[in-house]
Amino acid sequence: MARPRDNRQRDLLRASLDQIINLQHPLVQLADKIDWQFLDRRFASVCAAGPGQPGLPTRLVAGMFILKHAENLSDEVLCARWVENPYYQYFCGELSFCHELPFERSSMTRWRQRLGEDQLVALLQESLSVAHKTGAIESKDLERVAVDTTVQPKAIAHPTDARLVHRALVKLVALARRHGVTLRQSYLRVAKRAAIMVGRYSHAHQFKRAGKALRFLRTRLGRVIRDIHRKIKGQPELMPRFAPLLDLAIKVRHQDHRQRGPKVYSLHAPEVECIGKGKARAPYEFGCKVSIATPVTTPKGGQFVLHAKALHGNPFDGHTLGPVVKDLERVTGVEPRRIHVDKGYRGHNHPEKFRVWISGQVRRVTAVIKREMKRRAAVEPVIGHLKAEHRMGRNYLKGRDGDRINAVLAAAGYNFHLLLRWFAELLCALFQLAALRAGSPSFV
């Protein structure tokens, strides 16, 4: 694909955006502070000169990603609001008001896949750069950080053996019909009834009957698997199409909820992991682990997210600290002097062990460090906001790449949301100052 284009010109027959909007609006102020040239250089690195239609303008793509996660909107709702909201259009670089979307909604998915985590980190870096330029955060806030991990749940149903076996059977039968493979018997009707009865027997604590119905389900799934193997044998064009789903179905049929090691928790998202964080309300969560880093100080603009990274394989928290801090230095350009973590990081692998302070530690604790250790818990509400308001609470993006992309975009959206609030507060302060100078009472 050729380099992104940006040949937008003012339309004489349409209203100019800077004449119909309030130029003091926080979105307008934020748009003027962002270094769009920096994002253009980063995003254009995935494009190469050659034939084909040039990509969308970089500012349009970056602006849509920022608005999506700052306002907690889906792709469909964001595209609908973009057509209605002139501030959204100005933020994305439009000169005149547009009455229709200049791209297909699926372009956002393609751009996410094309950029990946490595390039989308530029949005997080730019959010911190704008915060530093506007005084919302200072350099000293980047030197003392708190690091913690959380779970980014995937958009899957709660996995049970009966549900997984039934879904595997349904998907195999549908795939066979789609490719014209005639099965001896589909078992769809009796399998659905058996899956319902497993849930009813389990709810009534009749586990022997539930086990019998589950064995019935597994037997029918095995019959369908063997029937498909016989029918597609000797047809090389069908083998690659059935192989991934057959492998998952075989794993689902033979796995047990008591077994240890990797298991399949979802057929459409086999990368999902089962993670236990010791919560009473949710003993187990299904998704991937994410590391979050914030300042332990109190920046003027709020608790910004300095780093966010999805970690697959359900690693021990202490084993993630070394790589996370190294990546944090690359993102912020500042080497952390003190790192505060909870007791889950005991036995960490950070090379500078005297820079790491664990909750409850007594040795080498001064009055200043003790105050910072009390501030370590400030990372917890930040995680709560990321999940509740910036799309980390349920990840809808596909695959492990989607997990990593969603974590970075959620952190960037949270930071830009803080910046919008920061600009609104500055605007209120200016109005109050103007009112005081004029000698009139302030109503702000």
Residue 158 has pLDDT above 80, yes or no: yes
What tokens does 38 get?
Answer: 């920096």
Model pTM greater than 0.85?
Answer: yes
Please give the biggest Cα pair distance in the chain.
90
Q: What is the pLDDT at residue 261? A: 83
| pLDDT band with cut points at 50, 70 and 90 for residue 11 | confident
Residue 193 has pLDDT above 80, yes or no: yes
Residue 1 has pLDDT above 60, yes or no: no
- The DSSP result for 66-84, as a single string, is HHHHHTT--HHHHHHHHHH
Q: Which of 296, 298, 344, 349 is nearest to 320 (CA)?
A: 349
Q: What is the pLDDT at residue 362? A: 85
Report the alpha-carbon angle 314-69-114, nearest 5: 70
pLDDT digits (tens, 9 = 90+) for 195-231: 999 999 999 999 999 999 999 999 999 999 999 999 9
Let me know: does 277 contact 286? Beta carbons within 8 Å.
no
Residue 181 has pLDDT above 80, yes or no: yes
| pLDDT band with cut points at 50, 70 and 90 for residue 3 | low
Which residues lie below 8 Å from residue 433, measured CB to CB, with a gap of 6+?
Answer: none
Which residues lie below 8 Å from residue 327, measured CB to CB, with a gap of 6+?
Answer: 307, 309
Lowest-confidence segment of 241-245, 275-279, 334-338, 383-387 by average pLDDT = 275-279
Please report, rounded to a whole number, the percentage of residues in the chain having pLDDT higher than 70: 97
Which residues lie below 8 Å from residue 342, measured CB to CB, with a gap of 6+?
Answer: 148, 358, 359, 376
What are the C-alpha distances in Å from 56 to residues 90, 125, 177? 16, 22, 39
Q: Which of 85, 164, 124 is nearest to 331 (CA)?
A: 124
List, in sequence order, every residue forming a beta bridge with 395; answer none if it has no partner: 154
What tokens does 160 get?
Answer: 């049970």
Report the alpha-carbon angle 200-164-182, nearest 5: 110
Question: Which has more confidence, 433 or 417?
Answer: 417
3-state helix, strand, coil in the chain (%, to 5): 55, 10, 35
Q: What is the pLDDT at residue 234? A: 87
Lowest-confidence segment of 113-127, 324-338, 354-368 by average pLDDT = 354-368
Q: What is the mean pLDDT of the chain?
A: 91
SS3 for 131-171 is HHHCCCCCHHHHCEEEEEEEEEEECCCCCCHHHHHHHHHHH
pLDDT digits (tens, 9 = 90+) for 400-412: 999 999 999 999 9
- 3-class SS at 397? coil
Let me know: does 164 contact 332? Beta carbons within 8 Å.
no
What tokens does 122 get?
Answer: 């530029």
Let me know: does 340 contact 331? Beta carbons within 8 Å.
no
Long-range residue pairs from 213-219, CB within 8 A, at least 24 positions apart, any chain: 213/162, 214/161, 214/162, 214/165, 216/190, 217/162, 217/165, 217/166, 217/169, 217/191, 218/165, 218/253
Q: Helices marked H in 308-398 — which ranges?
A: 317-332, 367-374, 379-389
pLDDT digits (tens, 9 = 90+) for 267-312: 999 999 999 888 888 889 999 999 999 999 999 999 999 999 999 9
- The DSSP result for 194-246, as a single string, is HHHHHHHHHHTT-HHHHHHHHHHHHHHHHHHHHHHHHHHTT-TTTHHHHHHHH
Phi and psi torsions of 340, nearest 5°: -110, 130
| pLDDT band with cut points at 50, 70 and 90 for residue 440 | low
Q: What is the pLDDT at residue 443? A: 47
List, in sequence order, every residue forming a beta bridge with 294; answer none if it has no partner: 146
Average pLDDT of the residues in 230-241: 92
Q: What is the pLDDT at residue 444? A: 44
List, in sequence order, every residue forming a beta bridge with 338; answer none if it has no partner: 144
Residue 417 has pLDDT above 90, yes or no: yes
Question: Which has more confidence, 11 or 332?
Answer: 332
Burial 226-257 (b: 16+ CB within 10 A, else e): ebbeebbeeeeebeeebeebbebbebbbebee
